[in-house]
Every structure is written in C-alpha cells, then in structure tokens.
Amino acid sequence: SGGEDVPKLLNEAYAKLNGPDGAKCKSLLKKYLTKDVIEKNKNKKTKLGASLYDCIRSGVYNLDAGVGVYAPDAESYTVFADLFDKIIEDYHGFSPKQKQPPVDLGEGRCKELKPLDPQGKYIKSTRIRCGRSLAGFPFNPLLKAADYETMEAKVKQSLESVKDKELKGTYYPLQGMTKETQAKLIADHFLFKEGDRHLQHANACNFWPKGRGIFHNNNKSFLVWVNEEDHLRIISMQDGSDVGNVLDRLIRGVKAIEAIVPFSRDPRLGFLTFCPTNLGSTVRASVHIKLPKVSARKDFKQICDKLNLQVRGIHGEHSESEGGVFDISNKQRLGISEYQAVRQMYDGVKKLIELEESA
C-alpha cells in the first residue's frame, strides 16, 4: 500500500459505510469500524507493510459482505486487534481472554458419528474442510509471484508423495487447465470458483492463476485447494451422510500433509487463516440437505442460528439454494476443537431432521 494516504482512505471508508450507500450494509466491519478505531490505528503498519485499510478494503467495496475484513498477514490480527477482536468475538463468541483449545481432530471417535440419514431421505452429500497456512509466508495480498511458485512446488511435491492408498492423487494447476475442465470441477462442487469479488477486492487474486490449483485422489473424495483464499484448504467429501467416514479420511489427509509441510499456528488463535471467520479449528463441516417442511418455515434461519448452524446456497458462500437443497454447516470455528466443530454440525443437523420428521 505504498504511497496511499491511509488516514484519508479510512475516513472515506467510514463515510461510505455510514452514508447513504451503506444504508443497507449489515457487515461486522460497519458495526465495529468506529471513529475511535480509525483514530488509534490509522498510522499503524505491520512489518510487511499492511495497513488497517488493507484489512477492510474488501468490505468497503462489497457492502453486501457479512464480515468484510481479511488479514493480509498473521501480524495484522494483533496490530489491528482493536477491530479484529470485536469481529472475532461477535462471529465466534470468542473473547479476547480466550484461547483456542489444543488440536483434537477426533481420532478414534469417528465411529461415534453414525450416518445422519441412513435411508438417504434428506442428505445428498457430506463435506468437511479445514484451512492451513504454510509457516513463513504471509497471506495472499502480500505474496509475490515467486512465493506462489515456491509454495506451489513445495505443496505439489508433498501431496504427490502421500502414500495412503485411498488418498493418493495428482496435482492439477489452474494454469493450463481447460475452461471446460475448470467449469465442470466447479459445477460438481470440487473446485473453488473464480472471480470472487470479496477476495478480489481484498487483493487476494494477484498473479491469478499462478500458483493456484487442486490436488485430488481418483474418486475426488480427498481434495486440496492450493492458494485460493488460504494457502491450503484440505477437503474430504462423499455422497451420503456418513460423517464419521468423511472425518476419518480428512484426519488421515491432514496428518499426512503436516508430516511434510510445517503449518503456522498461533497460541491464542489456533491455525491461522486469511479470513477471521476461519481461525482456530478452521473446520467447516457441511451437508447438502433437503428439508422441505423445516426450510419452508419463516423462522428457518433463526432455528439454524440457535443451533449454531450456518445456511449457504448450493454453490457455497454467497450462492442461492436450488431445488430446496441447502448447505448447512457449523458456524463457529474458533474456541472449539476440530472434533467439536464437526459435532456442532452433526448435532444441529440431527435436530433439524427430527424437526422435519415431526412436522
């Protein structure tokens, strides 16, 4: 952000969020970017040069954002804690005094997670993903072209050395992938989309598609996204509702990768991610589910909210439901273990199915 007048940009941002343009804006950024926060932080920079404006630029452009902030580097979470702590507490219910519990992926307890919908009446598919950052690298906005090349080479090599028979696979770089293949992978829910304006305005798409790609096994049940929103998104998914099997596969994948690539973890915030909604366990466990009666209720969103469940559309974040199918997942990621995050989805969805059956 060299050469920018950060204090001026921050004041303009405040005016936009709180003026007529921002009348409908409901983001956590708008809620917590006070004049006081601006005054205290307008001249601060992280060692790598990130300013408060770099953290908020996405939410200033995208007034429909739910959150609106991203951390350009790990240090931003502490340097700009006046803003991030408030947003983190609101989203996860995690106070500045709290600490992420130790890693507990749920090894040995996957069998407790019996299929949620054994008859296949409601659930189409189940997916669990987590995010990881490579130690020693900042997040997207501060990565250089050469960083993308180094990171991609390192990750490709380690992924392709995974021995586990079920997980073995190939890395497919985005650069050189045909548009048809890319579109099919996106439509089938395996690959990240392209051109997300929230990420673009966070300066997270520099040098695209350099260093971006996807690794997957033969039947696309184990996948790793490289350098999209986070350095790594590790994913396990399959048709049906066997959450235990999906988690067991994810655990094997995470362990295989972390044995080779060192990840960055913060004593307070747990595993570090670009977006504050993903900190801590980084786990989003979801089902694609049809609940005709419950989802028709006016208070469907409130019911889900109370169960700590988040509702997304059929193509993920910021998409719409189609044919009555919703993506329902745990909302909280920070302040709870990986296993607890999966259980938040599991217990909540179980409850929704009970409501559907008794309606």
Distance separating alpha carbons of residues 253 and 233, to the nearest angstrom: 11
Binding partner selected for residue 316 from ligand CIR, ligand ADP, none, CB under the kind-specific 5 to 8 Å limit: ligand ADP
Tell me which of 105, 204, 275, 304 binds ligand CIR, using CB under 6 A.
275
Q: Beta strand 222-226 with 309-312: parallel, antiparallel or unpaired?
A: unpaired
Tell me which residues in 149-208 interact with ligand CIR (CB under 6 A): 198
- Examine residue 194 and tell whether it contacts ligand ADP (CB under 6 A): no
Name the segment binding ligand CIR (CB under 6 A); options: 120-128, 243-251, 273-281, 335-343. 273-281
Q: Ramachandran region of residue 118, left (φ > 0), alpha (ψ -120 to 50) or beta?
A: alpha
- Examine residue 76 and tell whether it contacts ligand CIR (CB under 6 A): no
- Examine residue 316 and tell whether it contacts ligand ADP (CB under 6 A): yes
Instruction: Compute φ and ψ for 150, nearest 5 degrees.
Output: -60, -50
- Examine residue 327 and tell whether it contacts ligand ADP (CB under 6 A): yes
Q: Computed from CA positions of residues 280, 274, 264, 343, in that sequence, does the dihedral angle turn out positive or negative?
A: positive
Tell me which residues in 211-250 interact with ligand CIR (CB under 6 A): none
Name the segment binding ligand ADP (CB under 6 A); options: 45-53, 139-147, 250-258, 315-323. 315-323
Q: Using N-to-C axis directions, what is the helix angle for 338-358 and 243-258, rounded to 10°?
A: 160
Binding partner selected for residue 66 from ligand CIR, ligand ADP, none, CB under the kind-specific 5 to 8 Å limit: ligand CIR
Beta-bridged to residue 216, according to DSSP, are 170, 223
Tell me which residues in 307-326 interact with ligand CIR (CB under 6 A): 317
Distance separating alpha carbons of residues 9 and 53, to the nearest angstrom: 7
**Among 62, 72, 79, 73, residue whose Cα is nearest residue 13:** 62
Tokens of 245: 């099997």
In angstroms, what is the minimal distance from the CB of 18 to ligand CIR?
A: 17
CB 323 within 8 A of CB 313: no
**Among 158, 98, 167, residue whose Cα is nearest residue 134:** 158
Q: Which CB, 266 or 317, lies closer to ligand ADP?
A: 317
Binding partner selected for residue 67 from ligand ADP, ligand CIR, none, CB under the kind-specific 5 to 8 Å limit: ligand CIR
The answer to whether 284 is a known catalytic residue is yes
Among 229, 273, 338, 343, the one annotated catalytic: 229
Tell me which of 7, 49, 66, 115 binds ligand CIR, using CB under 6 A.
66
Distance separating alpha carbons of residues 151 and 154, to the nearest angstrom: 5
Q: Give how many residues touch ligand ADP by CB under 6 A.
A: 17
So which residues are the catalytic ones? 129, 229, 233, 275, 277, 284, 312, 317
